Amino acid sequence: MELTDRVVRIVHVPEAGLLAADVTGRIHLLDENLHVIRSSAAPTGSVTAGHAPVYTVTAAGDWVVGRDKRGTLLRWRLDTLDLVDVLDADRTANRAELLEGEEPSPVMSRGITVHQGKVYMNNGYRQMAVLDLETFAVERIEPNFAGHVPLEWFCQDHPEIDAASDKAGRVFLGDLETLDFPTVVKADGGNIHRILYDSLHDRFWATQDDGVDENNNIANGVLTLDAEGNVTGQLLLARDDVEFLAFSPDQRTVYVGGFDGVLHLLDNSTPELKVASTVSGFSHQLTDFAVADDGTIYTLTQDGDIRRLTADGTRILARAPFRRQCVWDVQPSVDDPAELYAATDDGVAVLSVVADGLGEPHLDLRAHHTHDLGFTRRVVPLPGGWAGVTRDQWVFRADRDGTVLWRRRLDALAHTVAGSPDHTRLLACHNDGVDELDAKTGELIARLDIGRASAWTGCYLPTGERVIGSSTGLISVYAADRDEVLREFDTEEYPKRMWAESPDALIISGENGVKRLALADGGITHRWTELLDNTVENGVLLGNTVYAVSYGCQLGAFDRESTEITALVEDLPDFAKALTAVPFGDEYVLVVGGRGGWIRLFRPAGEGRKAALTRVRDLLLPRQRTTP
Q: What is the mean pLDDT of the chain?
A: 94
Contact by Cβ (8 Å): 350, 360: no
Helix (H, G, I), strand (E, B) or coil at 584: strand
Q: How confident is the model at residue 219, as a pLDDT?
A: 94
The count of C-alpha atoms lying within 13 angstroms of the C-alpha of 54, restricted to the half-sphere facing its C-beta, is 28
Alpha carbon distance 246, 297 (integer Å):
10
Q: How confident is the model at residue 47, as a pLDDT?
A: 45
Q: How confident is the model at residue 105, as a pLDDT?
A: 86
- Alpha carbon of 566 to those of 104, 362, 501, 509, 539: distances in Å? 20, 25, 22, 19, 15
User: Stretch 517-538: mean pLDDT, rounded?
Assistant: 95
User: Stretch 310-319: mean pLDDT, rounded?
Assistant: 97
Q: How confident is the model at residue 46, as a pLDDT?
A: 43
pLDDT digits (tens, 9 = 90+) for 87-115: 998 889 998 888 888 888 888 999 999 99
Contact by Cβ (8 Å): 313, 265: yes
pLDDT digits (tens, 9 = 90+) for 123-180: 999 999 999 999 999 999 999 999 999 999 999 999 999 999 999 999 999 999 999 9
Which residue ranges make up each domain of the chain? 327-620
pLDDT for residue 43 is more than 80: no
Amino acid sitting at position 209: D
pLDDT for residue 49 is more than 50: no
Alpha carbon distance 146, 2 (integer Å):
40
User: Among 159, 246, 218, 289, which residue's Cα sits nearest to residue 432?
Assistant: 218
pLDDT for residue 254 is more than 50: yes
Q: How confident is the model at residue 608, as a pLDDT?
A: 62
Strands (E), 283-346: 286-291, 297-301, 306-309, 316-319, 327-332, 339-344
- Alpha carbon of 532 to those of 400, 471, 514, 529: distances in Å? 37, 21, 10, 6
Alpha carbon distance 596, 4 (integer Å):
10
User: Stretch 201-222: mean pLDDT, rounded?
Assistant: 94
Q: How confident is the model at residue 122, as a pLDDT?
A: 97
pLDDT-derived band at 51, boundaries 50, 70, 90: low
CB contact burial 293-330 (16+ within 10 A = b; e otherwise): eeebbbbbbbbbbbbbbebebeeeebbbbbbbbbbbbb
CA angle, 203 as apex, 200 and 204 as ends, to 5°?
Answer: 120
Contact by Cβ (8 Å): 146, 170: yes
Alpha carbon distance 368, 366 (integer Å):
7
User: Stretch 508-513: mean pLDDT, rounded?
Assistant: 97
Q: How confident is the model at residue 48, as a pLDDT?
A: 43
Contact by Cβ (8 Å): 291, 313: no
User: Stretch 414-419: mean pLDDT, rounded?
Assistant: 97
pLDDT-derived band at 561, boundaries 50, 70, 90: very high
Alpha carbon distance 172, 151 (integer Å):
10
pLDDT for residue 518 is more than 70: yes
Alpha carbon distance 21, 493 (integer Å):
31
pLDDT for residue 606 is more than 80: no
DSSP 326: B
User: Stretch 219-239: mean pLDDT, rounded?
Assistant: 97
Q: How confident is the model at residue 626, as a pLDDT?
A: 56
pLDDT-derived band at 628, boundaries 50, 70, 90: very low
User: Stretch 432-439: mean pLDDT, rounded?
Assistant: 98
pLDDT for residue 466 is more than 90: yes
User: Among 55, 81, 82, 79, which residue's Cα sits nearest to residue 66?
Assistant: 55
Alpha carbon distance 70, 88 (integer Å):
9
Q: How confident is the model at residue 609, as a pLDDT?
A: 66
Contact by Cβ (8 Å): 261, 284: yes
What is the sign, positive or negative, of the torsion defined by CA atoms of 231, 235, 239, 243? Answer: negative
pLDDT for residue 50 is more than 80: no
User: pTM for this structure?
Assistant: 0.94
Alpha carbon distance 71, 435 (integer Å):
44
Q: How confident is the model at residue 534, as a pLDDT?
A: 86
Residues 6 or more apart in contact with residue 272 via CB below 8 angstroms: none
User: Stretch 116-125: mean pLDDT, rounded?
Assistant: 97
Rounded to an integer, what is the distance from CA 174 to the centroid of its chain?
31
pLDDT digits (tens, 9 = 90+) for 391-408: 999 999 999 999 999 999
Strands 394-399 and 598-606, by their bridges, are unpaired
Alpha carbon distance 489, 572 (integer Å):
34
Contact by Cβ (8 Å): 317, 309: yes
- Alpha carbon of 193 to those of 118, 139, 244, 463: distances in Å? 22, 27, 6, 44
